Amino acid sequence: YLKSKNILTGIKVDTGAKSLAKHPGEKITEGLDNLRERLQKYHMEGADFAKWRAVITINKNIPSDTCMHANAHALARYASLCQENSIVPIVEPEVLMEGNHNINTCYEVTDKILKIVFQELKLLKVDLEAMVLKPNMVLSGLENNEKISEDTVAKMTYDVLNKNVPKEVPGIAFLSGGQSSDLATQRLNNLNKLYGNEKSWNLTFSYGRGLQQDALLNWATGNTKKAQEALIYRAKMNQHASLGKL
């Protein structure tokens, strides 16, 4: 992050996902040790936001309840420590796109992890009005070839959020996961177009690949100008998609 009086700045504070003991194929995100002291330092240096990512893998017999509860509890502890130190927590429970699962399985797992996350946030007394949720959209696995309409993706994504995300949460900033830049933008726009008058929270983006991929492809060819233009264009498209105006 960069210290600035005019720009909101943030920092990733988890130390990464490690193997969950006695649970093959599953991960637990670490980084709670000394987090209070680190947050105090980051706040003094200008951080306004922090991010913690928990990864949930879909495969045969996983995710387990253990994995979901352990990661949700860590997210809640992180979020409460952030708010104690005047930092807004970005809470990221990501159901990964890797795998051949269908969209219904993604829906079921997303539904369950969101339910558990908000139970843990409540237990840790996290102020829901002072946090940002960063979830996945409800999608088929990357190796699954089922044909799903974009309206179905929007409907299932909105439905799982509407069931689990309290209206007090001010903003939901989607991750792009394994989506292409165009699809990530299109799907965000579709959600805002279809549900703009119903939703309680702002639906926006916190894309990595979905924001940077086009620019990086041009950068790799040595074309700096096209890389800059691609980044500006994608940022503008996502901004319009956040308003449902594409």
Any catalytic annotation for residue 134?
Answer: yes
Count of residues making up the chain: 246
**What is residue 89's three-state secondary structure?**
strand
Q: Which residue has the tokens 């558990």?
A: 116
* Cα separation, 97 vs 109, whole angstroms: 12
* Cα separation, 12 vs 42, whole angstroms: 11
> Pairing state of beta strands 10-12 and 16-19?
unpaired
Out of 92, 94, 112, 120, the active site residue is 92
Phi/psi at 178 (5° precision): -100, 15
CB 50 within 8 A of CB 88: yes
Any catalytic annotation for residue 18?
Answer: no
* Cα separation, 45 vs 200, whole angstroms: 33
SS (H, E, C) 21-44: CCCCCCEEEECCCCHHHHHHHHHH
Phi/psi at 95 (5° precision): -85, 115
Residues with catalytic roles? 92, 134
